[in-house]
Chains A and B, each alone.
Chain A
């Protein structure tokens, strides 16, 4: 009987391809049943403008899409008193909602501001890498919907995966490396 290789789900982001259309945000909300209403604090992923570069008429605005980094050393998991936040075997940071006391210490521990309180469930929530879709062999909604293919998702432990090939051949960085969180989101540079 062959032993199945452990997966490590990661996302490779090419920010140069981002056009700030926010389709990822919309797809995420639709896929995960998030009704933000008028509350601008309710989001799992976001796009940050990194400012305008160059001189007129040769201008370029850079964007940086982001979300939960599914850290390998997640501070949100460490501070959760009831173990509601935990890591799965394949490298995802997940939440067992029934255990959440909504103390919000995970929100404060996350250096990426990736967590929020869900207006629907009234507990802390965040990006799950669409774990329910991964289980069905599908891509996360934000990856699937992106018109310019900013995000590439896959198993880093599979040397033939696109994410493994990209990280082997391109320069990349992670956000806030000084925090020692070992993120699973890699930004091509």
Chain B
């Protein structure tokens, strides 16, 4: 089948062509990274003994959290009965599946021996948060696929049940993802109940931001139906509210980390506040991720789609770096300050390699390409009930 014919929806307009080129370019960059990884293995990454988790882990977390967030926003319609939100459900669930698949691809390239994952089934360890996270996200992917299939086939009678299962699965998988960090007692910056709980708020924020972008893109060239418009306005308002909650959470996270100067926790927080990750933290995570979108959304009252789109893009950039900052800052304080690797600052360092950056970009390219394909091959607009 010729997918390049001009009446094909994938590249119907110039805008579609630009998106397709962007997705293709990112995928090519990702393939270059993959090639180097296949040639050099983990040596192509800048992770090492003291900093074994890098940008690929944080990118996986970003995708997985986005997946849950999309499911949460989608559930407002099918689970909690807000009728206006039913119109965005199918598109949101499609994107949730795509985000999770992209995340799995990225983390698959981070794991040294992904084929050994069979032992997740053959010799499971239920005391391991990663076992729960992997298992729950795998089940969750299955639930989302069922939910999407039911939506595509118009079996609305069962969509509600599948959505409820998706909502429960999403919350469970997402908080377990937080526990992968929160239950590492050796790392005081991550340890504690904060991450498993707060990650749900950031998931919902990602979900709101992506839903706004998906709908803005979908109705870029035609009038947005009224129910969708109401849903997008409501999403923008929820988005603003959640950003407020997130800033409140962030304030107390910082306060609790610096108040008692607990070793490992305090030092890691200072890395963010005025250390090597200060620009990432203040400029990208706080300003772009929280303050700018919050001010934009509050000033427009959530009624301007253009403003909401800018706020959504700003937040997603900020959330990407929030994951990166969280993953990296938690490892830069050495467990043994005397080791040779520690520089004069007393801290470890990590900068992603070109291969890691290429695979990260490839993950976004894959996500974009899969979404375009889903938009091409499925009708992602909700049918009437």
Contacts and interface: CB of A to CB of B under 8 A. Distances in A.
Interface in A153-184: 179-180
Contacts of A109: 184-186
A26 interface: no
Contacts of B127: 78-79
A110 B134 CA distance: 21
B53 A99 contact: no
Given A101-B113, A107-B52, A80 B186 contact: no
A42 B49 CA distance: 8
Nearest to A85: B125
B111 interface: yes
Contacts of A123: 112-113
B348 to A, nearest CB: 11
A101 B187 CA distance: 21
A107 B114 contact: no
Contacts of A107: 49, 52
A101 B123 contact: no
Interface of B is mostly: loop
B128 A81 contact: yes
A48 interface: yes
Contacts, number: 120
Contacts of A111: 185-186, 335
Interface stretch (B75-83, B205-213, B216-224, B337-345): B337-345
Contacts of B252: none
Q: Which one of A48, A98, A105, A123 has the highest number of Cβ atoms from chain B below 10 Å of its Cβ?
A: A105
A3 B315 CA distance: 65
A40 B184 CA distance: 25
Interface stretch (A15-23, A112-120, A127-135, A137-145): A112-120
B190 to A, nearest CB: 9
B186 A78 contact: no
Interface string A65-103: 000000000010011111110000000000000111111
A41 interface: yes
A79 B116 contact: no
B119 A82 contact: yes
Contact of A105 (B114, B124, B128): B128
B53 A82 contact: no
A122 interface: yes
Contacts of A83: 119, 123-125
B49 A117 contact: yes
A104 B183 contact: no
Interface string B168-189: 0000000000001001111100
Nearest to A49: B338
Contacts of B130: 79, 81, 103, 105
B336 interface: yes
Interface in B13-65: 41-42, 47-50, 52-53
Contact of A104 (B53, B335, B341): B53
Instruction: Find the residue from B41, B48, B111, B185 having the highest chain A CB count within 10 A.
Output: B185
Contact of A117 (B112, B122, B123): B112
Most buried by B among A41, A78, A79: A79
Given A75-B185, A83-B119, A108-B52, A103 B335 contact: no
20 contacts: A79-B129, A80-B125, A80-B128, A81-B120, A81-B130, A82-B131, A83-B123, A83-B124, A99-B116, A99-B123, A104-B53, A105-B128, A105-B130, A108-B52, A108-B53, A108-B186, A110-B186, A116-B49, A117-B112, A122-B112
Interface of A: 40-42, 46, 48-49, 75, 78-84, 98-105, 107-113, 116-117, 122-123, 179-180
Given A100-B112, A104-B47, 7 more contacts: A81-B124, A81-B131, A102-B113, A108-B53, A113-B336, A117-B49, A117-B112
- Report the 6 A-B pairs with minimum CB-CB distance, sorted nearest first: A102-B112, A82-B119, A104-B52, A81-B131, A41-B49, A111-B186
